[in-house]
Amino acid sequence: MAFFNKVKNFFGIATVVVSIDTPDTFSAEQSTIDGTITVTGKSDQEVTLVKIELREHWRTGSGEDKTEKHFDLGKQIVCDQPFSIKEGEERKFPFSMPFSLIRSKNDEMADQGGVMGALGKVGAFLDQEKSTFKLTAMADVKAATFDPNCEKVLKKL
């Protein structure tokens, strides 16, 4: 049985579960994403770090003209003090992570309003611009090679 526990720990299975509690939307005017990360022990473990990050997956075009980029918009270490967690125990870590958006030329034009705003919106439509925002929380578990994490897709208003 100890062998199977080592294998599960190696892959991060049955170590801890990470979850994110935050609103599903955010606005471009916000400067922080606020919420709580919950770490729940599935077995007795040592956690060395808890962190959160916001990334944008940006796509434009289609077919051979498709372009994809990833942008790190914000990162924060929520807990850098190692701690032990027992099976069934739950630890909550509130966070307020600052972030800054990266704006395309079409976004900048769309924000101007009027004729320029309309041109920016049309440009984004014609370029087939699409962004997906993902908030990822991760707990660094000492015994796990692949650390448990949680990902939440956020919608920009």
Please name the residue that has the structure tokens 């049955």.
Answer: 14
Q: Name the pTM for this structure.
A: 0.79
> What's the confidence (pLDDT) of residue 85?
96
At 8, the pLDDT band (50, 70, 90 cuts) reads low
* Domain count along the chain: 1
Confidence check: pLDDT of 140 > 60: yes
For residue 99, give the 3-state DSSP assignment.
Answer: coil
Cα–Cα distance for residue pair 22/35, rounded to 1 Å: 4
Written as one letter, the residue type at 8 is K
Provide, rounded to the nearest whole percent, the portion of the chain with pLDDT above 90.
54
Confidence check: pLDDT of 25 > 70: yes
Asked if 154 and 97 count as a contact pair (C-beta separation under 8 A), the reply is no
The single-letter DSSP state of residue 42 is S
Q: Where are the beta strands (DSSP E) in 61-108?
A: 67-79, 83-85, 90-98
**Structural domain for 64, as ranges:** 2-156
Confidence check: pLDDT of 35 > 80: yes
Which residue from 72, 73, 70, 93 is spatially nearest to 139, judged by alpha carbons? 93
Which residue from 46, 66, 50, 49 is spatially nearest to 58, judged by alpha carbons? 66
pLDDT tens digits, residue range 39-81? 999 989 999 999 999 999 988 777 787 888 899 999 999 999 9
Sign of the alpha-carbon torsion through 62, 68, 73, 78: positive
CATH number at residue 149: 2.60.40.640
Whole-number average pLDDT of the chain = 84
> What's the confidence (pLDDT) of residue 56?
93
Q: List CB contacts of 150: < 8 A, sequence separation 6 or more.
A: 17, 18, 19, 20, 37, 136, 137, 138
Cβ neighbours around 154 below 10 Å, total: 18
> What's the confidence (pLDDT) of residue 22?
97
pLDDT tens digits, residue range 116-137? 666 556 656 556 668 899 999 9
